[in-house]
Amino acid sequence: MSDPTARPPLLFSAFVMNTTSHIVQGTWRLPDAAQTDHNSLDHWLGLARLLERGRFDVLFFADVTGLYGEYRGDHRKYLEAGLQVPASDPVVLLSALAAATEHLGLAVTSSVVQAHPFAFARQLSTLDHLSNGRVAWNIVTGYLENGFRNFGHDGLVPHDERYVWAEEYLDVVLKLWEGSWEDDALVQDRERGIHAHADKVHKINHRGARYSVEGPHLVSPSPQRTPLLFQAGSSPVGREFAARNAEATFIVAPHPQAARAQIEDTRRRAAAYGRRPEDLKFFPGLTFVVGSTEAEAHRRAAELDEVIDWDGHLAHLSGSLGVDLGHHAPDDPVDVLETEAVQSIVAAVRASVGDRQPTIRDLGRLLAGANRIVGTPEQIADALETWQDAGIDGVNVINVTRPGTYEEFVEHVTPVLQERGLQKREYEPGTLRHKVFGTDRLPDRHRGAAYRGAFARAEAPVA
């Protein structure tokens, strides 16, 4: 056992989606699985309260904007498997979850394709007010052909171009959040009849390749101003985007050594933007199979493999990669694939198999279980120490069943982690960013800080 005073606690995020079948396909059929209740508010309220009791840091909602790509020529498999369809809007849930919790961070995924930045900035500022500063945004560029067509595009925008788009999207929302209202603009002075100082609220007058936004922001500064910024891209251009913009990064890594390489690369890139290593937190996605003995844990893992819909995993990957894997044999090499979608998945499967040629079957196994930790609570704690030694700051806990995965984690794993100092026993007060970084606002080193006061200067009369 490690010295509990020698390690900082890890951050724990529950990785969920407002749907039935999210990452581990087919497990919704288990008798104790309640993810079919995803349209029930009570389902989500119960989960949020459970996570807060278990001292989780964030409830992290994934999302999509359309159906995954065709599998064997159509979308039948996705509908029959409940594979991220139906998928209800997570943003609508957050205000209810904020009212039911006090400390739990609430992260929502929203892609640049699905919401205009002016409207989205208003939504997130409102939620940050209602939650007393506990909102986070997972910035994604989107990767589904159907998702782009649902918003009027002819098809999927090329990979690197999506990140150029995302940079401008960030420009707009950061200008609104950080620069439109000065800190002391809102006074609500009843005696003088002045609600806000007009000369301290500014239009941003953004003119770019995709957006023209005059402003000002319609919401006064929220506790964090800018929500905590997550990002989930692992390709080279995705890492560059994270290095410049993200505060927390959800990574795909098949083992701790791969995580270390990705983390060190991203932190080197961040230094080029004047940022420090501690400005970014890294979260691999991991699943856990827990047993009171090692033998029981492995028996449960084998039983899980019997339930998993492996064909569903290949269908999931078809949409992620933009390639219909249903037209390939399971033992075909991944070299047959060319994709503009999630390039990091192909890179991750190469890293996971060592020297041999990875296959289509390996892709499915990677998504379903390569990041699975099987063992007793003590063995899981040992494994997480190894991951922490590789440089991670937290874990995105992927569920097999909901809420069962999190009930089991909180009951059996959390006490061991707390004993070792790997998970907090109590929450710090304050906003989500304060809990994670010790400050409410973006640091001066983040590019968003450059917009503070920028529009007051732009409006100043020329002498």
Task: Check residue 434 and give its pLDDT.
Answer: 98
Residue 342 near residue 87 (C-beta atoms within 8 A): no
Residue 431 has pLDDT above 90, yes or no: yes
pLDDT of 167-185, one tens digit each? 999 999 999 999 999 999 9
Residue 136 has pLDDT above 70, yes or no: yes
The confidence band for 453, taking pLDDT boundaries of 50, 70 and 90, is very high
In the chain, domain spans = 11-459
Task: Please tell me the pTM assigned to this model.
Answer: 0.92
- Which helix (H) or strand (E) segment holds residue 285: the answer is strand 281-290
Task: Check residue 366 and give its pLDDT.
Answer: 67
What does the block give as tokens for 454? 């920028």
Stretch among 85-89, 275-279, 349-353 having the lowest mean pLDDT: 349-353
The confidence band for 367, taking pLDDT boundaries of 50, 70 and 90, is low
The separation between CA 164 and the C-alpha centre of its own chain, rounded to angstroms, equals: 20
Residue 370 has pLDDT above 80, yes or no: no
Stretch 126-146: mean pLDDT, rounded? Answer: 96
**Planar angle of CA 221, 224, 226, nearest 5 degrees:** 80
The confidence band for 441, taking pLDDT boundaries of 50, 70 and 90, is very high
Residue 62 has pLDDT above 60, yes or no: yes
Cα–Cα distance measured from residue 17 to residue 134, given in angstroms and rounded to the nearest whole number: 18
pLDDT of 293-319, one tens digit each? 999 999 999 999 999 998 898 898 887
Residue 44 near residue 88 (C-beta atoms within 8 A): no
Cα–Cα distance measured from residue 426 to residue 418, given in angstroms and rounded to the nearest whole number: 10
The confidence band for 344, taking pLDDT boundaries of 50, 70 and 90, is low
Residue 462 has pLDDT above 50, yes or no: no
Sign of CA dihedral 91, 130, 42, 414: positive
Tell me the three state secondary structure of residue 434.
helix
Domain 11-459's class?
alpha beta
Percent of the chain with pLDDT over 70: 94
* β partners of residue 194: 189
Residue 338 has pLDDT above 80, yes or no: no
Cα–Cα distance measured from residue 417 to residue 86, given in angstroms and rounded to the nearest whole number: 36
Measured between alpha carbons, how far is residue 155 from residues 44, 103, 163, 370 in Å? 34, 40, 16, 31
Strand ranges (DSSP E) for 142-262? Answer: 186-189, 194-196, 206-207, 212-213, 228-231, 248-251
Cα–Cα distance measured from residue 405 to residue 33, given in angstroms and rounded to the nearest whole number: 9
Measured between alpha carbons, how far is residue 232 from residues 26, 53, 226, 248 in Å? 24, 27, 18, 9
Residue 351 has pLDDT above 80, yes or no: no
Task: Check residue 345 and give its pLDDT.
Answer: 67
Stretch 233-241: mean pLDDT, rounded? Answer: 88
Cα–Cα distance measured from residue 116 to residue 176, given in angstroms and rounded to the nearest whole number: 13
pLDDT of 8-58, one tens digit each? 999 999 999 999 999 999 999 999 999 999 999 999 999 999 999 999 999
Task: Check residue 349 and give its pLDDT.
Answer: 74
The confidence band for 4, taking pLDDT boundaries of 50, 70 and 90, is low
Task: Check residue 90 and give its pLDDT.
Answer: 97
Mean pLDDT of the chain: 92
Stretch 190-200: mean pLDDT, rounded? Answer: 97
Measured between alpha carbons, how far is residue 229 from residues 113, 220, 292, 418 in Å? 17, 19, 37, 27
Residue 240 has pLDDT above 50, yes or no: yes
Task: Check residue 79 and give its pLDDT.
Answer: 96
Q: N- to C-terminal Cα distance for the chain?
A: 68
Which of 308 and 350 is assigned the larger pLDDT? 308
Task: Check residue 461 and give its pLDDT.
Answer: 60
